[in-house]
Chain A
Amino acid sequence: MQPFTTLSGIAAPLPRANVDTDQIIPARFLKTIARTGLGRHLFAALRYDESGAERADFILNQDPYRRAEILIAHENFGCGSSREHAPWALLDFGIRAIIAPDFADIFYNNCFKNGILPIRLPRAACDQLIADASMSANARLTIDLERQVVRRPDGEEIPFTVEALRRHCLLHGLDDIGQTLAHEAAITAHEARLANSPCLPVLGF
């Protein structure tokens, strides 16, 4: 996983609530056995018309937002399915951070597994950043995960917080599985306690 330390990039405003994972990537594009290549399907229904041509009014079809690395949205971003294809599509497009008042739980979790930083900020702060980002010349924001601040184009810093372990893993690009396997003895001990449990039948097929 690519570490996330600081990011200075173009921010695309997406002032909508309840951006669901079917909007981020429709189910028909989930029929892949790879993690990559999904960026072209990101926001498919919003980005392309029925003929497959770009919709000029969609923000990611406009310059400079075609090169956006940050998205700013409204409440409940990423609601709906557990599909990790949603963060994969965002990452493949180039998005490394999303700022919103809140996120759906599974999507929020999935972001950290893929080196994407989801940042929760109050709605008023999101609207301020959306206004900044909407002036395309000023669309560049800086995110410093070490210091946990978002820097506006005028230099003002907005603080945010991320859980300590998640921040640590993101800053260092750490793989969860490797870390968990360090707790092998505790897992084995737990399993030994379960061995005769009537509540945990094994599936003998």
Chain B
Amino acid sequence: MTHPRTVFDKIWDAHVVETLPDGTCLLYIDRHLVHEVTSPQAFEGLRAAGRRVRRPDLTLAVPDHNVPTEHHAEGSAAILEPDSRLQVQTLERNVVEFGVPFIPISDARQGIVHVIGPELGASLPGMTIVCGDSHTSTHGALGALAFGIGTSEVEHVLATQTLLQRPARNLLVEVTGRLGPGVTAKDMALAIIGAIGTAGGTGHVIEYAGDAVRALDMAGRMTLCNMSIEAGARAGLIAPDETTFAYVRGRPFAPKGEAFDRAVAYWRSLVADPGAQYDRTVRIDGGEIAPMLTWGTNPEAVVPITGTTPDPDAEPDPARAAQIRRMLAYMALTPGQALEGVPVDVVFIGSCTNSRIEDMRAAAEIARNRRVAPGVRALVVPGSGLVKQQAEAEGLDRIFTEAGFEWREAGCSMCLGMNPDKLTPGQRCASTSNRNFEGRQGPGGRTHLLSPAMAAAAAITGTLTDSRRFA
């Protein structure tokens, strides 16, 4: 009789190839997702050592970070920035040389790596999934152990299909009750980070549970797990259930027929055993969560849209007070200022956090028959070519363009300032992305993280706005 195990424990145990004397484990990796930014030096390392990719059939590469959000039909040759073009074309050369499955820019399936993995069924429950990108935690929504790695580890996985890892601790985040009307998975994620802090999850894998989590659709679960890294966690995951199985069924790379049934039978075992021990448990009442947004320059600096910025003079810890002052100065906000009504210059709806069809629908619901406020630039960037196709089939693109939003092609876009979509110094952006660090969306840019509905509402009024006013 083994001790009662968590979901993380079960997936971990199933993938340990060998345990080394100091407790470090050699962990097998089922799926390795590769993009253009964190892989060139890894392929170069293989080449220098005369090594091959051990399991190209478990590897999938796609360009996303540098990809402009227009002219996709013309492929990488249409990238105007020479360094971005070189990076994408280096990936194109590497996948040929090493025989790695690849989705080029001109392919309708191209998109943000964390959108296309689940969408294509390349990411599945029970898997270990890694990518040279911290938001790999997204795939945990399927009930997988998915985490970001650095380039040396990308090379290690390419060469060996394994990683040297020490087991993480278990953190249970239980969100009870029901989210209120107009409150989304993004608000839940921001509320959790506000509660536990940007280092609250360090060394842990978060398992999200509770009725409010169970009630989320897969897109919402991906949003929630995506932001786990912003709480410092190694990964975030949700035990797979009927919602998960219904999502996976019929995806291009998912098992089919009898193999699917056998897979589901196994996936059903990936729930925490009664009495499973968590190193830490956090409970949050889902009914208490309001639409949230960040006011500062890290993701724990959050308030409800009905709230105000903090007053550093009321903060007893001098280091913390200094940090609040610095964040307020960077964000051009004052102590005790109401967030609602603060004018925005740019609205960005997209990123691996919020660019799925459900996110597009939520934003379109608010944009329908309304107009983007004068002087505001509003971008909608679907997370993949397939999301774009689906949105267009539903007429969402027309709702957006008639309202004055730009309807772009798939990519990371304005999340991180590596492609032409970026803020200019001093611009304030209502953004559905995941990081509000100084300069993240472009040097001197000011980011407020929020949900797609909140972003759309900000585009319409031209100011930070409680999206529930449009309900």
Contacts and interface: CB of A to CB of B under 8 A. Distances in A.
B421 interface: no
Contacts of B49: 177
B152 A22 contact: no
Contacts of A201: 121, 124, 253-255
Interface string A99-118: 00011111001100110000
A31 B149 CA distance: 18
B6 interface: no
Given A31-B66, A199-B255, A102 B90 contact: no
Contacts of B148: 81-82, 106
Contacts of A74: 319
Interface string B147-171: 0111111011001111010100000
Nearest to A22: B437
A181 B86 CA distance: 32
A35 B101 CA distance: 25
A33 interface: yes
Contact of B255 (A16, A181, A186, A198): A198
A106 B150 contact: yes
Contacts of A113: 150, 152-153
A79 B435 CA distance: 11
A198 B259 contact: yes
A164 B150 contact: no
B28 interface: yes
A176 interface: yes
Given A50-B425, A81-B133, A199 B124 contact: yes
B164 A180 contact: yes
A26 B202 contact: no
A203 B437 contact: no
B307 interface: no
Q: Which of B60, B263, B425 has the most CB atoms of chain A within a 10 A radius of its CB?
A: B263
A75 B26 contact: no
Question: At the interface, is chain A mostly helix, strand, loop or mixed?
Answer: loop
B278 interface: no
Interface stretch (B15-23, B69-77, B308-316, B380-388): B15-23
A165 interface: yes
B144 to A, nearest CB: 10
A17 B134 contact: no
Contacts of A35: 41, 151
A34 B66 CA distance: 16
Given A33-B90, A80-B437, A201-B254, A164 B152 contact: no
Contact of A83 (B126, B136, B150, B203): B150
Interface stretch (B283-291, B438-446, B460-468): B438-446
Contacts of B66: 31
Contact of B160 (A28, A84, A181, A200): A181
B51 interface: yes
B22 A165 contact: yes
B338 interface: no
Interface in A169-205: 176-177, 180-181, 183, 186-187, 190-191, 194, 198-205
B209 interface: no
A177 B28 contact: no
Given A190-B28, A201-B254, A109 B153 contact: yes
Contacts of B81: 31
A3 B8 CA distance: 34
B22 A164 contact: yes
Interface in A134-189: 163-165, 176-177, 180-181, 183, 186-187
B127 interface: yes
Nearest to A31: B83
B166 A163 contact: yes
Contacts of B18: 183, 186
Given A23-B438, A28-B418, A17 B319 contact: yes
B262 A80 contact: no
Contacts of B161: 187, 191
Contacts of A76: 198-199, 202, 232
A45 interface: yes
B160 A187 contact: yes
Interface string B395-426: 00000000000000000000011100000010
A18 interface: yes
B416 A33 contact: no
Given A82-B150, A84-B152, A203-B101, A20 B437 contact: yes
Contacts of A83: 37-38, 150
Interface in B108-137: 121-122, 124-127, 132-134, 136
Contacts of B245: none
Nearest to B81: A31
Nearest to A50: B425
A15 B319 CA distance: 9
Contact of A31 (B60, B84, B232, B435): B84
B221 interface: no
Interface of A: 15-18, 20, 22-23, 26-28, 30-35, 45, 50, 74-76, 79-84, 87, 102-106, 109-110, 113-114, 163-165, 176-177, 180-181, 183, 186-187, 190-191, 194, 198-205
13 contacts: A27-B417, A28-B417, A80-B134, A82-B132, A110-B152, A164-B21, A165-B20, A165-B164, A186-B18, A190-B28, A199-B127, A201-B124, A205-B102
**What 9 A-B pairs come out closest when comparing CB atoms?**
A113-B152, A202-B57, A33-B40, A84-B150, A31-B83, A198-B259, A110-B150, A82-B148, A164-B22
Interface of B: 17-18, 20-22, 24, 26, 28, 30, 37-38, 40-41, 44, 49, 51, 55, 57-60, 65-66, 81, 83-84, 86-87, 90, 101-102, 121-122, 124-127, 132-134, 136, 148-153, 155-156, 159-162, 164, 166, 198-199, 202-203, 232, 234, 253-255, 259-260, 262-263, 266-267, 298, 319, 323, 416-418, 425, 435, 437-440, 443-444
Given A27-B418, A76-B198, A191-B161, 9 more contacts: A27-B416, A33-B40, A45-B443, A82-B133, A83-B38, A165-B22, A180-B164, A183-B18, A203-B60
